Each structure stands twice: as structure tokens, then as C-alpha cells.
Amino acid sequence: MKVLLVYPIFPDTYWSFRHALKIEGKRAPFPPLCLLTVAGMLPAAWERKLVDMNVEELRREDIEWADIVFVSAMIVQKESLEQVVDLVRSMGKRVAAGGPFVSTSSDKLPAADHIFIGEAENTLPEFLHDLELGIARKFYQADERPSLANTPTPDFSLIDMRHYSAMSLQYSRGCPFNCEFCDIIEIYGRVPRTKSNEQMLAELDALKAAGWRGMVFIVDDNFIGNKKNVRQLLPALLEWSRANGEPFTFITEASINLAEDEALLQLMQDVGFKRVFLGIETPVEESLKLANKGQNTKRNLLDSIRKIQSYGLEVMGGFIVGFDNDPEDIFERQMTFIRESGIPLAMVGLLSALPDTQLWRRLNKEGRLLNVTTGNNTDCSLNFIPKMDKDKLVAGYKRVLRNIYSPKEYYARALTCLARARKGKNAMLRRDLKDDLRSFIKLIVTLGIRDRARLHFWSYFYKLVLRHPRDLAHGLTLAAMGYHFRLITEKYTA
């Protein structure tokens, strides 16, 4: 059996980092971990090939080669996903579809021969058995959330690592919190399940053996959701890292209560964690309470961010406007908070009702749901009727984007971030990027010569060299990311 695994195109958004990746000489931030993991579940005798459409073109010859095509996508990739499914079917090939979009919106993709709803550890073996017998069904739905004990090591041999800025691993699934707008708890549940230490170290061994050196993204939606197991993992990870010459640095996602656990923060710093994404959402307590984001109301958010930054962890923050309880001055409050937080990578989005979330169900009951979300909460579209006047909300949101990604504001936050992170022991000493001369020259030409904001860049560069010479590589990476965010902002707010 010949299996083609296809990852659809991720559109040009804040999350694509496309303009920054061009400077780095990469084509995508991360490989499709979902399909690499599925590939590891297939029979060893099967031939397999992966096409990540974000780094290479899907050719008709690839589809002709295959006996069956597997596709997986998030909501924001749905247009490309549908095109792939239609193309595969038009060529007379069987196609199986899964992933977050399909799991929450399977009725929107009727063309696929086989649809996988939920996690595939139990349903994929059942499908493979049925396929062999010639009785494969259209729908395979996971009746329970499986243990990750049998999740295989991803098949990294299927990708060309040179195309990616970082590699991905998954340690856990699920989150213990109950945020109204979040679909993670609907898909993966509120009881975080983790892999064993042995599994994680085996995956690190595989990455190292495949030749990877550099950043590894632990893609858990809340890395500290199961703190007990994380506390057992990190010492083993530290020992492995030291024994293997510290080949990797790490980034991940977590909840704000990470700030309360200094022992855990110290371990993460020692292991080489460089960045953590936090769902901060809003400084307005009434909106946090409405969204069931109680964990963010029990602590001073700015103090918590500073605490995490002091351990050498750059904070990347998620923010939302459009909550029912947002006051008239929400836009000014968000801009002020982001400035004071020293978070360069501040991802601000309009509230979006994702399929089958608590928010989706509430708005549907209230008659305020309009349509299916685009999956891109930064494209200035709304799929529900907000309490604030829609035009005022969108205009205020655009004002926030133009402010926080203006060169002056962005570079100031980047310098604040670097200053705070250096307070931690050995903070930010490891570099995210190798001293790649070609990338450096391209960055200088792009931001320092061609860009109309080049004067802001040179002022930032001077301060970076003067104040943070040890963090020069990381500081330039932040500059490239800021350039990407500014271009996307100009696209969305024109």
C-alpha cells in the first residue's frame, strides 16, 4: 500500500510568520506533526510520502503514485483542504480526512471517502483493519480519549528539515481549565494526558539522530496542565540535554499560573526553554469571568508576566477583544497593558465562536451566531453579533493592531523583553538562530535599507548592540518577526 500524506496550505496570517521566515531562509515555522505521527502508526511495510504544501507543491504525480491519501487540517486551512480533497477524488483516488477542523466540522467536508473525528490512536488501527477487509466505513469517531502510551514516535524521515524554523513534539493533550471560547477542551478534554518520560526522550533521540539542532516546539496547548507529570519530565529532560551536548532549545504554551511555581520555572530555564505562549486575553476582570477564565483573575497579570520573564522566558501573549463585558475603553486598556507587559509577540484577535464550544452554544441559544468562523481571528471578521457596535469594535481592533505593531511600539517592547529576561540566571544565553551570514545580510537589506521604517530599525539595532550584545541573534529574530506582523497588519487594516 502506498500512502500520501498531505498538509494543506496555511494562509498568510500573523501565525504563518511567512515574511520573517523569508529572511531566515525557511519556508514554514514547523512541520505537520499530526501527519508525521499518523505516519508512525501505519504498517511498517507500507510506502509513505508526505507533501507539506507550505514548503512544496502538491503534484498530480504524487497523487497518481498513491493508493490512498491522508489529509489533516485546522479550520484556517479549510479552503485548501477542500481543494485537495476535490483534486484527489477527481483523480479517482481514495481520501481520508482528519484533524481539528474535521473533528469539529465533519459535516462541512462530505467529499472525503473516510472521515476521522477525534484522536486517531484507536480509530486508525480499526480503519486499517477494515480497509484490508474491504469494509472501510465513511466515519470513524473516537468514543474515548486514548492514552498516549501507544502514540508512536513521529516519522521525521518524511520531511526535509532544512525548510523549517523549528521542529515539533507533543507531550500532552487536554487542559484542566474551562475557558468558554476554547475548543481544545472540547476536542481533547479537561484531564491532561501525557506521554511517558521514556517516550519523550525517544522522540528527542529521533530528532537528534535525524540531524536536527536548534529550536523544538512542545506543542501542548497547556504544557503545565498536568504539573505532577511535568515535574517528573523536566529533570529527565535536563539530564538528557546535558548528556547530549544541549542540542535543542524549547518553546511551549502554558497557563498564567506558571508564574506561581518558581521551582518549575527554574527547571524550565535550566533545560533551555526560551519562550512560552500565555493566553492572557484581557486586563478586564469582568470579561475574564464571563469567559470562564478564572485562573487569570486570581493573580496580578503584569506581575506574573514579569516573574516568568525573569527566568529567561520570553512571553508570547494571546489577547482578545470583543467580549460582551468589554468596556468602551477596552482598546486603550489593551494597548497600555501590552506596552507595560514587554511582550513583543502580542497576538491580538477578535473574539471568535469556534464550532461546538461553550461560546458557540451560548451565542446560538441567544440567536447571535451568524456563520462559521474563518479560523483566523485576526482578519477583522466576526461570526456573531457582538454587544458593542460592530463597526466600532472592528475599528477599535484595527487601531490596536496599528499601534502595537508600529515600529516605535514594537521595538520598545522587544528591548523591554530582552532587558527583563537577562535578569534570570543564564537567561537568554543560548541563541535561537545560528550565525547565518546570509540571513543577517538579508535582514539588514530588508529592514535596514529597503524598509521605509529603516530609521526605527537602526535605532533599535544600535540599542541592541549597546545593551544586549549577547542577545543580538535573538533580538534580530524579534525584529524580523515584527516586520512580518507589520506587513500583515497593513494588509488587514488597509
What confidence tens digit (pLDDT) does each residue in 93-116 have? 999 999 999 998 867 776 899 999
The pLDDT, as a whole number, for residue 433 is: 46
Q: What is the mean pLDDT of the chain?
A: 95
The closest of 317, 472, 344 to 411, measured between CA atoms, is 344
The pLDDT, as a whole number, for residue 105 is: 83
User: Residue ranges per domain, the chain?
Assistant: 2-141, 149-421
Q: Which CATH number fits domain 149-421: 3.80.30.20, 3.40.605.10, 3.40.47.10, 3.30.70.270?
A: 3.80.30.20
- 41, 99 in Cβ contact below 8 A? no
The pLDDT, as a whole number, for residue 108 is: 74
Task: Tell me whether domains 2-141 and 149-421 share a fold.
Answer: no
The pLDDT, as a whole number, for residue 430 is: 39
Per CATH, which fold does 2-141 belong to? Rossmann fold (3.40.50)
The pLDDT, as a whole number, for residue 331 is: 98
* Residues in the chain with pLDDT values less than 50: 423-433
The pLDDT, as a whole number, for residue 6 is: 98
- 139, 107 in Cβ contact below 8 A? no
